[in-house]
Amino acid sequence: MSTEMKKNSQIFQDSNNTYYPEDELQVSNLVQELYKKNQPTEIIGTGSKNFIGNNIQSAKKLSMSKLSGVIEYLPEELYIKVKANTPLELVEKELEKNNQELAFEPIDLGFIENGKTNKGTVAGCLSCNYAGSRRFKVGSVRDHVLGFQGINGKGEIIKSGGTVVKNVTGYDLSKLIKNGINKNELIGLIFNTIGVSDGISMGTQGMRYSLPSRDVIADSIETVMQAMAYDSLITVVGCDKNMPGALMSMLRLNRPSILVYGGTIAPGCHNGKKLDVVSAFEAWGEKVSGKINENEFSDIIKNACPGAGACGGMYTANTMSSAIEAMGMSLPFNSSNPATSSHKIKECDLVGKAIFNLIKLDLKPLDIVTKESIKNAVRLITVLGGSTNAVLHMLAIAKSANIKFTIDDFQKISDTTPFLANLKPSGKFLMEDLHDIGGVPAVMKYMLENDLLNGECMTVTGKTLKENLKEIKSLDFNQEVIRPISNPIKESGHIRILYGNIASNGSVAKITGKEGLLFSGKAIVFDSEDEANNGIKNGLVKKGNVVVIRYVGPKGGPGMPEMLKPTSAIMGCGLGNEVALITDGRFSGGTHGFVVGHICPEAQDGGNIALIENNDIITIDAVENSISVNISENELSSRRLNWTKPDLKFKSGVLYKYCKNVSNASNGCVTDS
């Protein structure tokens, strides 16, 4: 019976003590049994390495021959999932069908031994971590493995990584969408525009270009669409300014359009704590204050951003993606589907069918974006505790749609809308956690059930918001991410529009309630972000101060850079509840604390923020919605006589043109009015 198979513990075994398990459970059971008996065991693949090492005569043998084959292959994503004993030659043949090949170069050990090709199995290649001659360009085998599921020496099933479909840089969403378009009697054509990463430019002079990029993006999309006479538009967006810029162009063009958000990043992890990009900036504050050392700081930096996707908290990217979904300009779940999830793949495939339907219905952005849908978006922003940047962007979006919507409308909505989301930066959780409990659609359904949304607004599905949400599962409050209305974080919204002698044309505060509702303290004044950062680093900022950062507005910056680094440094130094900060610049969505931005008129235009001096008493009242400096009008007039308007920091180029054309912050910083 040398070749006759018999069954032993549900696993086939031949007379040569060779077992032939058919699945991982059988492998697990068998290895557990052999482990208990302390039985030497030899794993057999294709035999490509038989000439290496010595055989143990008494060993039981486990043949993996029945665990072979391709499970899933997605050429567009450069992704293939196979069983452990799949010969590499089989994998290569499958890839060849799509003119693809393995990044690494397998070593043909069979040819080395006897002149017959045998490159071994996937598992064998992984275990030896072969690389071949391409090592220095593409790395070794393990550099291209997303994850695996296997059996350890005790027979336990273990997993590492994941089976999420992605490549090193994330999905190529535009190609996935194009494939979906081409399947629906349409022809998809791809063109690109610019993009600025706030994560890279933050805290540098490059941040001046971030907000202006929004209008450059809108202008460039409009230019190509009009010049080439394209019938419809699908935009693939990621960071903060991409989204409003893309939507502004859609509204100007008014052709069937859908916005696709690239998705949120997965959380990083360090010492059992979830991290995101803001963790890195706050760690800098902890380092300069002596709370952590350089090694700890370095570890946080390295682990904060583990892969593709926009910043993970309810910062500006996730704020705007949520708002745009609430406005009806993206497909359901678009804003909360993680960047590297299979949900994002499926969503992209649906876009082609959706845009075909919009063309057929002749349903255009101005049919969808109305004052009521903008109100829906702002209410959702309020419930989720979204970024103050949303004020700038929603004003600009409304202007592009020729809809009258002002900063005072924000205040009216904030007064009648509770803050419910325990999301970063002021809370605990990330967008991925919101996705796990039903995503933005579940939140919107809860709002609809409580009369906080207008369900009759049209969406890009060709259905109303109410119709889209009909089959969505209601929120279960056995979770900590979203609170019920009966137990809000704050009974009214976190975004406050403040007026006073510092901000006669308005300003925007982000008050979650955790910071208190009233702050009064002595001013410490800085005329740039760099000055402020150095002041915080050198201990000039003390408990009870109101930090003033000026000449960083739309014209003075120019470009109204975000003050994330100083606010994060304040948090990192442990002064988050003891210090307030006001500025004519703006804030990252990652900013939290007692902060007021968008002060208008800005310092460059001679606003009273330019006249504040060290030790002036500044009072911020989030109940009365006021911001003032405790000096008389006569004193302000006297100081104004000694004030000289600074020259613009740029005399040519993009930022010069921006200074000459940009409206003030209370009007959305638009450049086409």
Residues acting as catalytic residues: 588
507 and 585 Cβ atoms separated by less than 8 Å: no
240 and 198 Cβ atoms separated by less than 8 Å: yes
CA separation for the pair 273, 267 (Å, rounded): 9
CA neighbor of 493 nearest in space, from 595, 415, 389: 415
Kindly state the tokens that stand for 507.
């300003």
The counts of H helices and E strands in the chain are 24, 21
CA separation for the pair 337, 609 (Å, rounded): 42
Place of tokens 């009648």: 416
CA neighbor of 146 nearest in space, from 340, 436, 400: 340
CA separation for the pair 79, 377 (Å, rounded): 37
Identity of the residue numbered 302: K
CA separation for the pair 23, 18 (Å, rounded): 15
Place of tokens 């030790």: 615
438: left (phi over 0), alpha (psi -120 to 50) or beta: left
CA separation for the pair 421, 477 (Å, rounded): 12
CA separation for the pair 272, 91 (Å, rounded): 38
CA neighbor of 333 nearest in space, from 390, 260, 256, 233: 260
CA neighbor of 45 nearest in space, from 123, 133, 130: 123
450 and 486 Cβ atoms separated by less than 8 Å: no
CA separation for the pair 630, 192 (Å, rounded): 51
CA separation for the pair 499, 476 (Å, rounded): 39
DSSP 216: H
Pairing between β-strand 268-270 and β-strand 273-275 as defined by DSSP bridges: antiparallel
